[in-house]
Amino acid sequence: MYVHPIEYRYFYPEMKSLFTEEYRLQKWLEVEAALAQAHAEVGDIPREAAEEITRKASVKYVKLERVKEIEDQIHHDLMAMVKAFTEVCEGYAGAYIHLGATSYDIEDTATALQLKDAIKIIMEDLINLKNVVVDLADKYKSVICVGRTHGQHALPITYGLKFAIWAYEIHRHIIRLMQLTPRVLVGKMTGAVGTMAGFGEKGFQIQELVMKKLGLKPAETSNQIVQRDRIAELILFTSLVAASLNKIGKELRNLQRTEIGEVWEEFKETQVGSSTMPHKRNPHKSERICGLSRILIGNVFPALENVALEHERDLTNSAPERIIIPENLILLDYMLKQLTQILKGLKLDEQNITRNLGLTRGFIMAEKIMLELVNKGLGRQQAHELLRKCAMQSWSQRVEFKQALLNEPTIAKIVSSTELDEWLNPAAYIGTSVQQVEKAVAELRGYKYEF
């Protein structure tokens, strides 16, 4: 029986599989095997013992059920693994398992292995999402729409520029992930309080060998644990990406409002929008992304609290991490893949886009006309006040902005009707929008990420 929705609803199998109990047990076994191999290389234990340990370092031999059975008796999950592992090793090999190590040498190093696999998936997700957004920017670089500030019609913009802004934001997240990965993917083999005393004078050598075998960096220094600023940074990163996804999802939701209706999520032929209102076409996928972002952002608090443990360590980080690490990574993977699918199927309603450009009867072009009046010899402040009055007249009397302008003697004296028609065209005032998009597409489409 499932309890948490990441087990049955909000997940993709590849990421979810990284956080199963069996997968975690497998990573523990791999770390124990690497430790045994290191001991053999430095002459601490017989090579045959290390080979047997390595051979049996698999959930094929060390069964999760047996580990949990032992844990029920001794109330220590890592030591339960050590005992179950010892049982399946032939001869004297089991006597050398976990030699000189403390629990979190194994647990933290195994966590880094899990995170290594998870980060690879998140990186692929981000790159796929960025590529889709770049394609949208390119496709719609010249589609002019109304820009909105404070929820009000402001000036013309292009959909391409909207998408290009998102593409650069996702690109920055990819760069952030590349930068933080070396700080997160570290393991340790330093013993109970970080002194390496259990490994004697070979401590540095053993730690280097273990991490090299596992493809991790060794922590520069540690106490009983890898310091939690590293985990906190990863959780902060996932929450920052979630905030961006929330931003994109919120924009998509607002643009799908009935009275705006400029973009639409894909809606299948048999899809149901409401249990009682047959006509509904709800943006539920975008809403889901916005809602899930709150979980990731909320998990920042326990991640930061976990940084301040007592003395050489306490156990208060353990329970929260069992929750926040799987939650944030499984949900982020789900959100990224879902948003990618939403954007792949996104439809623009260009008829509504054009309609909305004209809703204000032209006064979204007030800034353009103000600048043209300055070119005609009016002072900037004088032109601003004249345009403000004309816009208010157009608004209150529901007349075309052009007519309000022609009703103003100062303006009518120096501007012709033909000039106003030219200046009131939204296409005449999108600035460098198209060029900005072309620059973004050129930079981002071919960008080579090294990780």
pLDDT digits (tens, 9 = 90+) for 47-86: 999 999 999 999 999 999 999 999 999 999 999 999 999 9
Percent of the chain with pLDDT over 90: 92
Higher model confidence: residue 284 or residue 308? Answer: 308
Over 90: is that where the pLDDT of 172 sits? yes
Over 70: is that where the pLDDT of 135 sits? yes
- Residue ranges of domains in the chain: 1-99, 100-264+277-360+432-451, 363-423
Percent of the chain with pLDDT over 70: 97
Over 70: is that where the pLDDT of 274 sits? no
Average pLDDT of span 271-293:
80
Confidence at residue 1, expressed as pLDDT on a 0 to 100 scale: 81
Class for the domain spanning 1-99: mainly alpha
Q: Where are the alpha helices (DSSP H) in 9-57?
A: 13-17, 21-41, 47-55
Confidence at residue 75, expressed as pLDDT on a 0 to 100 scale: 96
Confidence at residue 273, expressed as pLDDT on a 0 to 100 scale: 66
φ/ψ region of 215 (left if φ > 0, alpha if ψ in -120 to 50, else beta) reads: left
pLDDT, the chain, mean: 95
pLDDT level of residue 292 (50, 70, 90 thresholds): very high
Q: Which CATH architecture fits 363-423? A: Orthogonal Bundle (1.10)
Average pLDDT of span 281-293:
92
pLDDT level of residue 267 (50, 70, 90 thresholds): low
**Active site annotation includes 173:** no
Residues 334 and 339: their CA atoms lie apart, in Å, by 9
Over 70: is that where the pLDDT of 321 sits? yes
Average pLDDT of span 392-418:
92
Nearest partner of 106 among 189, 38, 168, judged by Cα: 189
Confidence at residue 283, expressed as pLDDT on a 0 to 100 scale: 84
In angstroms and rounded to an integer, the radius of gyration of the C-alpha atoms of the chain is 30
Alpha-carbon dihedral sign for residues 269, 275, 278, 279: negative
Average pLDDT of span 196-209:
96
pLDDT level of residue 284 (50, 70, 90 thresholds): confident
Confidence at residue 142, expressed as pLDDT on a 0 to 100 scale: 96
Confidence at residue 230, expressed as pLDDT on a 0 to 100 scale: 97
Alpha-carbon dihedral sign for residues 405, 409, 411, 412: positive
For residue 295, give the H/E element and its range: helix 284-298
**Active site annotation includes 76:** no
**pTM for the complete prediction?**
0.94
Class for the domain spanning 100-264+277-360+432-451: mainly alpha
Over 90: is that where the pLDDT of 450 sits? no
Asked if 441 and 137 count as a contact pair (C-beta separation under 8 A), the reply is yes
Q: Catalytic pick from 4, 17, 142, 274?
A: 274
Confidence at residue 272, expressed as pLDDT on a 0 to 100 scale: 65
Confidence at residue 208, expressed as pLDDT on a 0 to 100 scale: 98
Confidence at residue 265, expressed as pLDDT on a 0 to 100 scale: 87
Over 70: is that where the pLDDT of 146 sits? yes
Q: Catalytic pick from 150, 275, 279, 311?
A: 150
